[in-house]
């Protein structure tokens, strides 16, 4: 866009130059096309400039379309969070030395919600949880829907006790929201598993440990937060 603006400015300047030459020559009335060095410069700059503007505009269009397609491919259409592919693309290539904590979430007994109240209601429950997740994480954190009723939050630079507090706030907020939306209680609660990255531990390993902690939370009765053991350094 900056390059386009410069080209427009230079082209406009050549038109001003043509007007200045005509003013110096005192040619106030034109009976034929002017023929002077300023007109020659203007002709060349106009042709080259407009061709360059067309090429840059086309390139910008293709770049925006490609960026849009990449966003669609990495974003969950229902909730607007990252999907599993987007999460992997963003974090798998990061340095294992980076400090982060992963919270895995799973909506409890969600299949019963779909079976008893329909998939449309189930989708609304998923969107409500996605909104709850977004509300309780920072702009530097990332939220994702990994598929079905499974969600994930990646917290940058958080201590384990801070991540546990975040997970608990999300659990309680979603429980309150769900009860307000459905006083009969026929809605999902959420279980969570937390794992903090060990030294030089890859993202996929931390994700797997958080998932194992989530499974333990489900086994222990659901609607609770479970913390994975620290990874032992070899």
Q: Indicate which residues carry an active-site annotation.
A: 149
φ, ψ dihedrals at 187, nearest 5°: -145, 170
The two beta strands, 150-156 and 225-227, are unpaired
**Which of 222, 159, 233 lies closest to 196 in space, CA to CA?**
159
Q: What distances in angstroms separate CA 17 from CA 14, 29, 31, 231, one per listed residue?
A: 5, 17, 20, 72
**Pairing state between β 150-156 and 142-147:** antiparallel
CA 153 – CA 199 distance, rounded (Å) = 20
* Residue whose tokens read 């507090």: 165
Cβ partners under 8 Å of residue 21, min gap 6: 34, 36, 37, 38, 39
């Amino acid at each position: 866009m900056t390059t386009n603006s410069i080209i427009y400015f230079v082209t406009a300047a050549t038109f001003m130059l043509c007007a200045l030459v005509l003013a110096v020559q005192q040619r106030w009335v034109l009976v034929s096309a002017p023929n002077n060095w300023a007109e020659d410069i203007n002709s060349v700059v106009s042709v080259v400039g407009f061709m360059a503007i067309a090429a840059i505009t086309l390139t910008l269009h293709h770049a925006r379309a490609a960026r849009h397609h990449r966003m669609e491919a990495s974003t969950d259409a229902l909730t607007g969070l990252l999907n599993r592919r987007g999460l992997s693309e963003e974090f798998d290539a990061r340095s294992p030395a980076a400090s982060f904590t992963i919270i895995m979430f799973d909506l409890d007994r969600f299949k019963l919600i779909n079976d008893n109240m329909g998939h449309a209601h189930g989708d609304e429950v998923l969107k409500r949880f996605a909104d709850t997740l977004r509300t309780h994480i920072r702009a530097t954190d990332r939220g994702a829907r990994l598929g079905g009723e499974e969600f994930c939050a990646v917290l940058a630079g958080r201590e384990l006790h801070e991540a546990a507090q975040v997970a608990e706030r999300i659990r309680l907020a979603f429980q309150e929201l769900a009860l307000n939306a459905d006083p009969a209680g026929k809605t999902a609660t959420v279980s969570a598993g937390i794992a903090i990255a060990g030294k030089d531990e890859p993202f996929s390993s931390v994700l797997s440990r958080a998932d194992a902690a989530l499974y333990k939370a489900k086994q222990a009765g659901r609607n609770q937060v479970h913390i994975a053991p620290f990874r032992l350094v070899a």
